[in-house]
Amino acid sequence: MLSLGRKSGREPAFGDVHIDDDRDIEVRRLSDESRTHFWGEARLLFRDLVFALMIMALVLVFVAQPVKVEGTSMLPRLHDGERIFVNKLIYYGLPEIERGDIVVFWFPNDPTKSYIKRVIGLPGETVQMRAGRIFINGKELQEPYLETSLNVASSDDPPVYVKPHYYFVMGDNRDNSSDSRSWGLVPEKYIYGKALFRYWPLSKASVIRHETDYPGIPTPRLERLEELE
């Protein structure tokens, strides 16, 4: 009986191929592979985290800004101490400011302070309060976002013409709001954000939507489009 070779007594480390069969073969331990894979993944994760933080910083600088609501002038929609994100692109006209938008702006009488109010009158319109109700160019403005218990006063104010590039703003809590009724119009260039999203408290996190289309009261922009047609 012929013998084809001497048995070594050791099982091949890699199936039918022994490490001594090829001196150039690379042998890597499982522990080394795991360590290399871990640090490789860690570097990728760190890179992605840095990239994400850079994107977030750019968004906060140019697109969105966190704002803290102070006071009760925007009850019941916004409460004191709540935190919201505002769209800063509105400063550049993206999108255009519309009636009903909740905006933040530098206070015209003291630009070191910021206010948050709702846009009521647009450029080119006449705004007047009669018996506690708002009239735009003589037509009553329907405001479903108001709380009756917060708007008891039935005051009458003289009509106010909204100049080009200015806005007439008011708080939703009309009985306890310092707004355009007392200190005048807001220059367009002073408006730097539009309320987008309430993120604190978490239990009330929600998108801040445009609440009404104000039927029967077209915007000056729509009136100009109709004239062109």
Q: Please identify every residue annotated as catalytic.
A: 73, 117
| Contact call for residues 182 and 157 (beta carbons, < 8 A) | no
| Contact call for residues 204 and 198 (beta carbons, < 8 A) | yes
| Contact call for residues 104 and 86 (beta carbons, < 8 A) | yes
Other CB atoms within 10 A of residue 132 CB: 14
Tell me the three-class secondary structure of 28-87, residue by residue.
CCHHHHHHHHHHHHHHHHHHHHHHHHHHHHHHHHHCEEEEECCCCCCCCCCCCCCEEEEE
Go through 106-131 and write b for each residue having 16 or more CB atoms within 10 A of its CB, e for each that does not: bebeeeeebbbbbbbbbbbbebbbee
Helix (H, G, I), strand (E, B), or coil: what is residue 99? coil
Question: Phi first, then psi: what are they for 100, rounded to 5°?
Answer: 95, -15
| Contact call for residues 194 and 82 (beta carbons, < 8 A) | no
Q: CA-to-CA distance for 136 and 154, rounded, in angstroms?
A: 17
| Contact call for residues 134 and 141 (beta carbons, < 8 A) | yes
